[in-house]
């Protein structure tokens, strides 16, 4: 787990290093590279936020201790606690943006949405590692968003392809029943357009079951799942929602073996990486993710 | 010595009924206005605008609206966040669906939308009081949260349920820079504060206060409870709705339903209680206390160069903040506005108290 969050942090730092060398020449001459760290170590999502924040922090500390910086440039950082709240995150962004022109990694879909409007004005790159605004893959429209390692659309697409492989081909999905149990927030709703498009393409039946944020109350959702008896359940949760979901699923007698694709959005950043890494994409139009995500974007 | 009204004779009813009858107050307010409208925009850094001043102004507007309902009319409400949300989403729908909609018009229409919803949820106040009314207004909160999440047309079919506005303009001038946004909000707050002050001084305000102090007695002397209570709900939710629209449009830019959740309702209620129930000034004190203090507490370790874990700092902020609220409520249950007026009373006699 530690290794994988380090890998995530490594990707973040590598991306940061790339930003260091390429876009703004003024940065290269700066004596110090400042990394703003928006973290959430408090609130209902702290179980996810704390290890993620620790991983990034540990990696930066390691780079400083081992190399004394990146390519001879000193590294500085400061954490700002967002508590996963959008208004607090915007405050943190305003507080730290004066100190840096490196990049911001908001670590929250809601904060990313709010900052997407502000970033072009400040000429501030927003890097979202496997989360954020899926539509921002279109770099022609979203010039300052850099969704690395795929987006929610990529993640959902991988899940459908995985199910297709299990069934022996995407064509076999016809008539199957797939249920999405999702966190009722922009984060949880992001994959829906893609899944709907996929459902149209392959003729499977998509059922949407929202779970009110933060997701501690799910009995009704799982009773609904049991009632409709889907072939697959995609669980799109975050923080406390995932552990609750597993307990509730068990309590309502839903057999975990049928929940093949459980953990679409898994409880820790580690499995997030593993879910999205195989199809890591960049913003360049030629290497966009799966077919379905493209078709849903144009639709 | 400086703050003394000796020799200031009122020779007309007009002078006697002025908003600020004491000359020193008028000077102080004029200085404050110049400071807020001229000096601050020239001198303040961007962070101050975006992170402190703009949220402070918008939330004081919302607290002002809530104070009319809770402080002046005595109808407790836990649905403030919902009324803000209605304001924001109605304004958003007008702005997004009608091409070339003037910004101020959509903000005011947002306020009108909130008025309708506010009056609707105010109807139970004719039968139920106190804690029970609070629970009824809580229903407004849950209903609006639900509507914003589930009804597609509310968010203009946004797939993620998050909506945003961009390129706001006022008479061809872009409202993009923090200074422009600040001045825009300041204008709204000043106009609404003046309106509210005059409303609560007038006949309507007196009706509200009579209902607050004892509704049966008020009804006996000829005040219609239906009219008084519903007008308080209407005025209050109009102001709160405009504040909500400003919060979405000017402060956040892009928002999700969680921006106006139950926490926002509680936050505003705390502002009104800490600032001072039944006081226009109190809304500003309360907003300043609740907006600025956590940020200051959060930043203190950095200012003094004490390396402290952010989680610890954030937990400490909660604890100190909570302790301060308890302290203030014990020392002065009538809020910061009451402390302020005690200070003014003392200043009148200073330096020779009898």
Q: Which of A47, A48, A110 to mutate to test the interface with B (most CBs of B within 10 A)?
A: A110
Least Cα distance to A263 among A273, A251, A252 occurs for A273
**Biggest alpha carbon–alpha carbon distance for chain A:** 63
Query: Could you tell me the end-to-end alpha-carbon distance of chain B, in angstroms, rounded to an integer?
Result: 14
Q: Which of A39, A109, A118 sits opposite B253 (nearest CB)?
A: A118
One domain, residues A98 and A183 = no
Decide if B302 and A78 are in contact by the 8 Å CB cutoff: yes
Write out chain B residues lying below 8 Å of A50, CB-based. 311
Q: Which residues of B touch A (CB under 8 A)?
A: 45-47, 50-51, 55, 149, 159-162, 164, 166, 176, 251-256, 258-259, 295, 298-299, 302, 309-311, 313-315
> Residue A238 belongs to a domain with what CATH number?
3.40.50.2300
Tell me the domain boundaries of chain B: 50-349
pLDDT at site A297: 31
pLDDT at site B109: 96
pLDDT at position A287 over 60: no
Q: How many CB pairs under 8 A join A and B?
A: 84
Q: How would residue B90 be classed by pLDDT, with cut points 50, 70 and 90?
A: very high
Decide if A39 and B310 are in contact by the 8 Å CB cutoff: yes
Options 1.10.3470, 1.10.260, 3.90.550, 3.40.50; CATH of B50-349:
1.10.3470
Count CB neighbours of B36 within 10 A: 17
Give the 3-state secondary structure of residue B274.
Answer: helix
One domain, residues A68 and A28 = yes
Number of domains in chain A: 2
What tens digit of pLDDT does each residue of B9-50 get?
A: 888 888 888 888 888 888 989 999 999 988 888 888 888 888
The residue with tokens 């799109």 is: A236
Query: Is A144 within a domain?
Result: no
Decide if B46 and A94 are in contact by the 8 Å CB cutoff: yes
One domain, residues A167 and A210 = yes
One domain, residues A22 and A75 = yes
**Biggest alpha carbon–alpha carbon distance for chain B:** 69
| C-alpha torsion B309→B315→B321→B325, nearest 10 | -160
Domain of A243?
Answer: 153-278
Q: B291 CA to chain A: closest CA distance, Å? A: 11
Q: Which of B164, B253, B311 sits opposite A41 (nearest CB)?
A: B311
One domain, residues A167 and A73 = no
pLDDT at position A296 over 60: no
Q: Which of A42, A91, A185 sits opposite B315 (nearest CB)?
A: A42
What tens digit of pLDDT does each residue of A44-90 get?
A: 888 888 888 999 999 999 999 998 888 888 888 888 888 888 888 88
Which residue does chain A place closest to B254, by CA atoms?
Answer: A114
Query: Is A119 within a domain?
Result: yes
Query: Is A135 within a domain?
Result: no
Q: A164 CA to chain B: closest CA distance, Å? A: 25
Pairing between β-strand B169-170 and β-strand B173-174 as defined by DSSP bridges:
antiparallel
Q: Which of A41, A94, A118 sits opposite B47 (nearest CB)?
A: A94
What tens digit of pLDDT does each residue of B331-340 get?
A: 888 888 998 8
Torsions phi, psi for A235 (to 5 deg): -105, 120
Decide if A86 and B160 are in contact by the 8 Å CB cutoff: no
Query: Is A136 within a domain?
Result: no
- For the residues A225-237, what does the mean pLDDT come to? 85
pLDDT at site B235: 96
Which residue does chain A place closest to B258, by CA atoms?
Answer: A185
pLDDT at position A277 over 80: no
One domain, residues A172 and A96 = no
Decide if B256 and A110 are in contact by the 8 Å CB cutoff: yes
For residues A127 and A146, the answer to whether their CB atoms sit within 8 Å is yes
What tens digit of pLDDT does each residue of A163-185 get?
A: 888 888 888 888 888 889 888 88
Write out chain A residues lying below 8 Å of B251, CB-based. 87, 90
Least Cα distance to B53 among B238, B250, B219 occurs for B250
Write out chain B residues lying below 8 Å of A85, CB-based. 258
What tens digit of pLDDT does each residue of B286-296 get?
A: 999 988 888 88
- For the residues A8-28, what does the mean pLDDT come to? 43
Reply yes or no: is the peptide bond before residue A10 cis, omega within 30 of 0: no
- Worst-scoring range by mean pLDDT, A7-11, A201-205, B19-23? A7-11
What tens digit of pLDDT does each residue of B214-270 get?
A: 989 999 999 999 999 999 999 999 999 999 999 999 988 888 888 898 989 999 998
Query: Is A287 within a domain?
Result: no
- For the residues A239-249, what does the mean pLDDT come to? 83
d(CA B274, CA B338): 10
Q: Is the pTM of this model over 0.90?
A: no
In DSSP terms, B169 is beta-bridged to B174
């Amino acid at each position: 787990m530690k290794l994988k969050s380090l890998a995530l942090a490594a990707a973040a730092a590598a991306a940061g290093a790339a930003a260091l060398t390429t876009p703004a020449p003024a940065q290269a001459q700066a004596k110090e590279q400042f990394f703003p760290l928006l973290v959430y170590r408090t609130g209902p999502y702290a179980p996810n936020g704390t290890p993620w924040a620790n991983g990034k922090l540990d990696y930066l500390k390691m780079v400083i201790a081992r190399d004394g910086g990146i390519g001879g440039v000193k590294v500085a950082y400061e954490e700002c606690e967002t508590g996963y709240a959008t208004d607090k995150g915007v405050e943190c962004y305003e507080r730290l943006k004066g100190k840096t022109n490196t990049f911001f990694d908001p670590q929250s879909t809601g904060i990313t949405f709010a900052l997407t409007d502000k970033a072009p004005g400040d000429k501030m790159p927003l890097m979202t590692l496997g989360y954020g605004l899926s539509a921002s893959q279109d770099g022609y429209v979203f010039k300052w968003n850099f969704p690395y390692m795929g987006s929610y659309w990529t993640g959902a697409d991988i899940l459908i392809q995985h199910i297709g492989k299990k069934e022996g081909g995407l064509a076999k999905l016809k008539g199957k029943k797939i249920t999405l149990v999702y966190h009722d927030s922009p984060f949880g709703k992001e994959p829906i357009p893609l899944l709907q498009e996929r459902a149209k393409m392959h003729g499977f039946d998509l059922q949407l079951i929202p779970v009110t944020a933060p997701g501690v109350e799910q009995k009704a959702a799982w009773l609904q799942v049991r009632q409709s008896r889907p072939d697959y359940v995609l669980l799109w949760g975050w923080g406390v929602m995932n552990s609750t979901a597993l307990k509730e699923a068990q309590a309502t007698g839903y057999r975990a073996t049928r929940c093949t694709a459980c953990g679409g959005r898994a409880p820790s950043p580690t499995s997030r990486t593993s879910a999205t890494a195989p199809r890591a994409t960049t913003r360049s139009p030629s290497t966009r993710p799966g077919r379905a995500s493209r078709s849903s974007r144009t639709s | 010595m400086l703050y003394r009204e000796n020799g200031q004779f009122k020779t007309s009813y007009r002078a006697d009924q002025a908003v600020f009858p004491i000359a020193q107050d008028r000077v102080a307010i004029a200085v404050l206005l110049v400071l807020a409208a001229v000096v601050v925009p020239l001198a303040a850094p961007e962070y101050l605008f975006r992170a402190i001043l703009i949220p402070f102004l918008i939330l004081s507007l919302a607290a002002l609206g809530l104070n009319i309902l809770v402080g002046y009319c005595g109808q407790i409400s836990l649905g403030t966040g919902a009324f803000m949300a209605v304001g924001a989403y109605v304004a958003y729908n007008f702005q997004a669906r009608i091409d070339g909609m003037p910004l101020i018009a959509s903000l005011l229409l947002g306020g009108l939308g909130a008025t309708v919803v506010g009056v609707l949820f105010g109807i139970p106040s004719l039968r139920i009081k106190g804690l029970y009314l609070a629970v009824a207004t809580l229903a407004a909160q849950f209903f609006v949260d639900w509507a914003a999440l589930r009804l597609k047309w509310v968010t203009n079919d946004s797939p993620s349920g998050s909506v945003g506005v961009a390129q706001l303009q006022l008479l061809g001038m872009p409202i993009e820079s923090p200074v422009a946004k600040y001045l825009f909000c300041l204008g709204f707050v000043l106009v609404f504060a003046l309106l509210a002050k005059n409303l609560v001084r007038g006949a309507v305000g007196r009706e509200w206060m009579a209902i607050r102090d004892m509704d049966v007695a008020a009804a006996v002397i000829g005040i219609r409870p239906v009219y008084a209570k519903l007008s308080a709900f209407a005025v209050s939710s109009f102001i709160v709705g405009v504040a909500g629209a400003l919060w979405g449009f000017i402060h956040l830019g892009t928002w999700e339903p969680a921006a106006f959740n139950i926490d926002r309702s509680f936050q505003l209620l705390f502002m009104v209680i800490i600032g001072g129930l039944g006081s226009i000034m109190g809304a500003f004190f309360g907003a300043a206390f609740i907006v600025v203090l956590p940020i200051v507490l959060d930043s203190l370790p950095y200012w003094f160069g004490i390396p402290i874990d952010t989680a610890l700092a954030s937990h400490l902020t909660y604890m100190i903040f909570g302790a301060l609220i308890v302290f203030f409520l014990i020392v002065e249950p009538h809020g910061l506005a009451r402390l302020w007026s005690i200070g003014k009373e003392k200043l009148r006699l200073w330096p020779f108290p009898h």
